[in-house]
A = this chain, B = another copy of it.
Amino acid sequence: MSKHTIQDVARKARVGVGTVSRVLNNHPSVRKSTRDKVLAAIEDLNYAPNPHARRIAGGRSYTVSVMLPMVSVEFYVRLVNAIEECLDENRFDMAIFPLLGRARIERYLNSNRIAYQADGIIMCTYDLGRLFPDGALPTEHPVVLVDNESEHYDSVFLDNYYGGYLVGEYAGRLGLPAYTMSLEDDPEGVFVSQVFVDRKRGFDDGVTSSNVQLVRDYPSGLHHQGGVQAAQKLLDEAVFPCTVFAAADVLAGSLIEEAGRRGLVVGRDIKVIGFDDQPWSQDMKLTTVHQPIEVMGRRAAEMLLERLSGYDGPPRKARFTPHLVERDSTLGEVLPAKYVAIAER
């Protein structure tokens, strides 16, 4: 901590602490000359107010809490990055609170946990209705939801249903038997995000209008390893050529690799469609549904900041509409399949 207090600044600037506080908080009624004096003193002393004291004294601490499931997926890395960038531009600080399993989450319910002591909260993915009967967080501070809709709070989310629907329609046009790789239920039942349910539902609806047959779903965990296992099962049982919708790019990646290993040609024998459009999906030539993660993260931060600046309207929904990005993983010609891979040394 800087050893200096608001007192030091006041003394040095030869004003009262009240005045220093006013310039600190951008109060309009400070004569420019006075304000400059104070600013100079602050600069000289390299002073910065103590956030805890500010908080105690009734003001803001210029801090927001971001709560998110602690899983090692790229989505959150990108999201957090975008949120932090926006908050920082507005001189706000950010702390992250990982949601680690049900037991841990329940401890967070205690509203005195530091997580709730910020000026505002961004809650990601986690379904509030699931643990809080009223669907509300135990705090008076503004809350913004990401990856989740709500009647209580501003929310930022992708229209996952529509994204899935787009894929369903597309699969219909491809005219091949279709399979899906979805997200399996979390054993604890806490993080079964609506997101993946919506994608799947959208797909199912989108595909039914066609004469394509949805053969089977292969659920797995949201990581490469799980994806591979599901992919193996799928490829053991599938007929080719076929279409597969993977509810996340990472699963599509697993599938593509497993297919390659078996000598199947992606885009020809097996049309693969992902969801997310991660940066590496382009290299992978994966047809997928684009989700603007950074834009969404920034929007969430903005909405929270608006609330913190006094906006007090009804809960707003920032719904983002995804679009399909067509790449080689669905564009190959479908030929009779018979492949031989030989590795000889």
A residues with CB within 8 A of B: 1-2, 48-53, 55-56, 61, 63, 70-74, 76-77, 80-81, 84, 88, 93-98, 100, 104, 107, 110-117, 139-140, 224-225, 228, 239-240, 253, 257-258, 260-264, 269, 280, 283-284, 336-345
**Other A-B pairs beyond A52-B53, A72-B74, A341-B342, 8, CB < 8 Å:** A1-B139, A48-B112, A70-B77, A70-B81, A95-B115, A240-B345, A337-B343, A338-B344
CB neighbours of A342 from chain B (8 A) = 263, 339-341
Residue from B61, B257, B337 within 8 A of A257 (CB atoms):
B257
Given known contacts A2-B111, A96-B95, A225-B280, is B61 in contact with A262 (CB within 8 Å)?
no
Q: Which residues of B lie under 8 Å from residue A81 when comparing CB positions? A: 70, 100
List 28 A-B residue pairs with CB atoms under 8 Å apart, sorted by A's residue number: A1-B111, A2-B111, A2-B112, A50-B112, A50-B117, A70-B80, A72-B72, A72-B77, A80-B100, A84-B100, A93-B114, A93-B115, A94-B97, A96-B96, A96-B98, A224-B224, A225-B253, A240-B345, A257-B257, A257-B258, A257-B261, A260-B261, A261-B261, A261-B341, A262-B343, A264-B343, A336-B345, A339-B343
Contact A93 B73 (CB under 8 A): no
Question: Quick one: which of B1, B112, B343 contacts A49, CB cutoff 8 A?
Answer: B112
The docked-state distance in angstroms from the alpha carbon of A76 to that of B80 is 16
Q: Which residues of B contact A240 (CB under 8 A)?
A: 345
Q: Which residues of B contact A224 (CB under 8 A)?
A: 224, 253
- Tell me which residues across on chain B come within 8 A of A113, comparing CB atoms: 93
In the complex, which residues of chain B have a beta carbon less than 8 angstroms from the beta carbon of A339? Answer: 342-344
Whether B51 pairs with A53 at a CB distance below 8 angstroms is no
Complex CA distance for A98 and B97, rounded to whole angstroms:
11
Note all chain B residues with C-beta closer than 8 A to A104: 84, 88
Given A74-B72, A77-B72, residue A51 in contact with residue B114 (CB < 8 A): yes
Residues of B within 8 A of A50 (CB): 56, 112, 117
